[in-house]
Structure 1
Amino acid sequence: MKIALLGYGKMGKVIEKIALERGHQIVLRKGSQDTFEGLLDADVAIDFSLPNVAVENISECLNHSIPVISGTTGWLERYEEMVQLCNEKNGSFIYGSNFSLGVNIFFELNEFLAKMMKNLTQYNVSMEEIHHTQKLDAPSGTAISLAEGIIKHTNYKKWTLENPNNDEILIDAKRIGTVPGTHSIFYDSAVDQIEIKHTAHSREGFALGSVVAAEWLVGKKGVFTMKDVLGI
């Protein structure tokens, strides 16, 4: 499989390593100043870039019938625009706030727990996410996905980064050292606390998941998620 890497920072380099180990070829390594030369040779593109260029990267792929995986966060106010473009072009697109297999299992666990806790109003829910200091967006896309999973099954209406109202989930977003990603969800009452937590040890889990998603997407048409890829 010929892969275009859109974004060639630390994640892009880890994706390259894993893709090569799985027998794939890299035909484009696009940094912030590079062109799209080589994109049309690709079977699929993987975008781990920056919020301000993700939409351009995804659009370029969809406009040229290149299936595209995006793990870039911080641009989701334009997600529906990309979905519409994908459908108009009969393209192939997966966005994931997190491509780690473990995190996607954690997403399911989070929603299952939220359903159980819905009517236990003595518990207040809050979240903490910790990432490396180079991460630009806060809260993380993963944290937002987790919050949305809780909101879907409870009486909470939205999330906030400070001073929550009764219908808001507080997300404490921390940027510390080189932490790859830690997400915790707390249900607190006067008598106890329930906590679920996912801790990433390296970027390799995210990179492997994105390559697996790319392998899965080639030959398919439509807008998909990691649930489709993993069959969960």
Structure 2
Amino acid sequence: MTDHAPLAFVVDDEPAMLDIVTFALETQGFETRSFKSAEAVWPELLRSRPDLVVLDVMLPGVSGMTLCTRIKGRWDVPVMLVTAKGETPDRIAGLEARADDYMAKPFHPRELALRAQRLVRRPEVAREAVTSAGGLELDAVGHEVVVGSERVALTTNEFRLLAALMARPGVPVSFTELLLLGWGESDRLGDRDMIKAAIYRMRHKLDAVAPGSSAVIESIRGTGYLLRPLP
């Protein structure tokens, strides 16, 4: 994250919720801009790039899910979805839309703000650091993983998850540990879906540049994941 105050775009059609979210973020040092619809925020996204977008799912017109998918299809901007729907299928739908985090109403404003901080904060590692394991190289400067001669950009959470696996190659890393490292969260019902979605996206990115390379991340049923050497 840069030295300037992180900029968050908050999109919600309820004025009271806009006030709650913007106030919570501003108390944690964010600069905020508020919008009442996807149609209103999109032109501003084309003009300037925020550090975070906080989206209500149930927006008039274009939904928050659709807007999230559009944002992630163009930019690597962290997106947090906020919705009254808190059931696991709804959380999975949000993660499939490539959201980085998902908050169900009602929520504590400080929790939202702290989770937002984690989304915009890059892992605190030396800028020259490159970690190698399993045939992969993790580049902290470019926020990328190197597979052979190919470089793959990672989101903050993907970077943290892969760093955790590469730090202990061949050793299973539990869902609880990965949640704490990636999101600063405890292992609550439904939160493992965040890890599964992030791992799925990361595997897809690896296979896109080096087919078969996703095999380096192995799922350990009921436990978590481990890093295997590339064949």
Q: What TM-score, normalized by structure 2, do the two folds share?
A: 0.43
Q: What TM-score, normalized by structure 1, do the two folds share?
A: 0.42
